[in-house]
C-alpha cells in the first residue's frame, strides 16, 4: 500500500506505518511522539465518539496532532475487518484497551498477526496484560501507588500526585514509544513480529530504578521529606520569593552550594555543614528566609545563568515566553494554539507538528483510499454503517 504522505512528512521515522486504536492518556501520547517524528499514523476513532471526552473540542486534544483520523465501528464485523485490512500494510498496531477487549472484537494479537506476521502489536495497559490486577480499572495515581513513587512524593503529611507524568506519560507513553521502536528494529532483522506488553506499573517501576539503588545503599530513607531530592534538603527545592512567586534551587555539589551561599550573601562559617541532615531544617529555614527578601525577578537577575543550579518556577502561561524556550523553539503555535514542540531534536531529519488535531473521523474516506481500499469497498462500508461519523 502506498504511503501518500511520505513526501509531505519529515523526521527520522518517515516510512513507519502505524494503526492506532484511539484511547486516552499514554497511547495517544506515544503516537504523537512517533507522528511528530514522521511516522504515518492512522488513528482509528470510534464511529459515534465525538472525541473521547475532550472538554472543549478536538482542536485542544494536542496529543492527537500530526496524524489523520478515521471513524470505525469496531463492534461491527465489517469495521473490525477494515482494521485488520489496514494492519496488513502496517508496521505497528497500538492497542490502548484493557486485556481481552481487542480479542472480543476479533482484533487481538492472534487475529492481527495472522494477517501480518511482521506486525508489532503494542498493548498499552495500566497493570499489564497478566497478573491479579490485569483486568482492573485504574488511573495514573493507582498505578504509581504500586511502585513506591507516590509514597516518596510530597510533604510528610501525605503523598501528592505528580500530575500524571510518572504513570501515564513517563511509565506508559515513553515506554510504549521505546518498546515499539525496539521491536521494529528487531523485526527488520528477524522478519517476525511480536506483542509488546507495556504496563504503566512496569514502566513507573523502571523509572524508580535509581531510587531503589539509593534505598538499598542506605542513603535513601523510605519516608517523605527526609531525602536529598524530596524537599528535605535546604539546597534542593522550591522557595517562595517576596512577591509570592517561587524559584527552584538544585545546589547539590559543593562548588554549586558554595556559589549559592555567595549569591545569598550568607557566610558559610556561620552555618552548619551542608550535609548534616540533623541541621537541615534550621539551614533550610535560613535559606528560605533569605530568599523571601527579594522578588523572583530580582533573584533571576542575580542567579540565572550561573552555576548555582537555578531557575524561576514558571506558570504554564509564562513558560513559552522565557528567553531560553523562545531561543530553542521549545514551543510552537499550530492553528492558533501554543503547544510544546516535538522532541528530541535531529540535525539532519528534524520532526515537526505535521497537522493540528483531527476531528474524529475527518479523513475516513481519504485514508482508506490511500491505504488500498477501492471506492466500491469504501461505499459499501459506509452503507453498512461500519465506518464514517454518525
Encode pLDDT of 329-379 as tens digits: 999 999 999 999 999 999 999 999 999 999 999 999 999 999 999 999 999
**Statement: residue 8 has pLDDT above 90:** no
Give me the mean pLDDT over the 188-208 stretch: 98
- CATH, range 17-207+337-383: 3.40.50.10540
Burial of 335 (0-12, 13-18, 19+ CB in 10 A): exposed
Superfamily of domain 236-240+246-312: formyl-coa transferase, domain 3 (3.30.1540.10)
Find out whether 80 and 106 touch, Cβ atoms under 8 Å: yes
Residues 6+ apart with CB under 8 A from 323: none
Active site residues: 139, 168
CA distance 237 to 260: 13
356 neighbors 57 (Cβ within 8 angstroms): no
Does residue 243 have a cis peptide bond before it, meaning omega lies within 30 degrees of 0?
no
Q: What is the largest CA-CA distance in the chain?
A: 84
Q: How far apart are CA 96 and CA 18, in angstroms?
A: 13
Instruction: Look at 51-60, 208-217, 292-301 and tell me which has the smallest mean pLDDT.
Output: 51-60
Strand partners, 71: 45
Whether the domain at 17-207+337-383 and the domain at 236-240+246-312 fall into the same CATH topology: no
Looking at residue 52, what is its pLDDT?
47
- Residue ranges covered by each domain of the chain: 17-207+337-383, 236-240+246-312
Residue 129: is its pLDDT beyond 90?
Answer: yes
pLDDT at position 390 is 73
Return the C-alpha torsion angle 336, 340, 345, 346, nearest 10: -40
List pLDDT tens digits, range 61-119.
999 999 999 999 999 999 999 999 999 999 999 999 999 999 999 999 999 999 999 99
Q: Give the bridge partners for 310, in sequence order.
A: 249
Over residues 227-256, the mean pLDDT reads 98
The torsion defined by the Cα of 49, 53, 55 and 56, in degrees rounded to 10, comes to -20
Residue 56 has pLDDT above 80, yes or no: no
Cell of 200: 504503566
The stretch 288-315 carries a mean pLDDT of: 98
CA gap 179, 192 in Å, rounded: 15
pLDDT at position 49 is: 55
Amino acid at each position: 500500500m502506498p504511503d501518500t504522505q511520505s513526501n509531505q512528512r519529515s523526521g527520522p521515522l518517515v516510512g513507519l506505518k502505524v494503526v492506532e486504536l484511539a484511547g486516552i492518556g499514554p497511547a495517544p501520547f506515544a503516537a504523537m511522539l512517533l507522528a511528530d517524528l514522521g511516522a504515518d499514523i492512522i488513528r482509528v476513532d470510534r464511529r459515534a465518539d465525538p472525541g473521547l471526552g475532550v472538554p472543549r473540542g478536538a482542536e485542544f486534544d494536542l496529543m492527537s496532532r500530526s496524524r489523520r483520523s478515521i471513524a470505525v465501528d469496531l463492534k461491527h464485523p465489517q469495521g473490525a475487518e477494515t482494521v485488520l485490512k489496514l494492519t496488513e500494510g502496517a508496521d505497528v498496531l497500538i492497542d490502548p484497551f484493557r486485556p481481552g477487549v481487542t480479542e472480543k472484537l476479533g482484533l487481538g494479537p492472534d487475529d492481527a498477526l495472522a494477517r501480518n506476521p511482521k506486525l508489532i502489536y503494542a498493548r498499552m495497559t495500566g497493570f499489564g496484560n497478566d497478573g491479579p490486577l490485569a483486568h482492573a480499572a485504574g488511573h495514573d495515581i493507582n498505578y504509581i501507588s504500586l511502585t513506591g513513587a507516590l509514597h516518596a512524593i510530597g510533604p510528610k503529611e501525605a503523598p501528592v500526585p505528580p500530575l500524571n507524568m510518572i504513570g501515564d506519560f513517563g511509565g506508559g507513553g515513553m515506554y510504549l514509544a521505546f518498546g515499539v521502536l525496539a521491536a521494529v528494529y528487531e523485526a527488520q532483522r528477524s522478519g517476525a513480529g511480536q506483542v509488546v506488553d507495556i504496563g504503566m506499573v512496569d514502566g513507573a517501576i523502571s523509572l524508580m530504578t535509581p531510587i531503589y539503588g539509593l534505598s538499598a545503599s542506605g542513603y535513601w530513607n523510605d519516608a517523605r521529606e527526609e531525602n536529598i531530592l524530596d524537599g528535605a534538603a535546604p539546597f534542593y527545592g522550591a522557595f517562595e520569593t517576596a512577591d509570592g512567586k517561587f524559584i527552584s534551587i538544585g545546589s547539590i555539589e559543593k562548588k554549586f552550594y558554595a556559589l549559592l551561599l555567595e549569591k545569598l550573601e550568607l557566610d558559610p562559617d556561620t552555618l552548619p555543614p551542608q550535609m548534616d541532615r540533623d541541621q537541615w531544617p534550621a539551614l533550610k529555614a535560613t535559606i528560605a528566609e533569605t530568599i523571601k527578601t527579594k522578588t523572583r525577578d530580582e533573584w533571576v537577575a542575580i542567579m540565572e545563568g550561573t552555576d548555582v543550579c537555578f531557575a524561576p518556577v514558571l506558570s504554564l502561561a509564562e513558560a513559552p515566553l522565557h528567553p531560553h524556550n523562545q531561543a530553542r523553539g521549545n514551543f510552537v503555535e499550530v492553528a492558533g494554539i501554543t503547544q510544546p514542540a516535538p522532541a528530541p531534536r535531529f540535525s539532519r531529519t528534524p520532526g515537526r507538528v505535521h497537522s493540528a488535531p483531527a476531528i474524529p473521523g475527518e479523513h475516513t474516506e481519504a485514508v482508506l483510499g490511500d491505504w488500498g481500499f477501492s471506492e466500491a469497498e469504501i461505499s459499501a462500508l459506509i452503507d453498512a454503517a461500519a465506518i464514517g461519523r454518525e
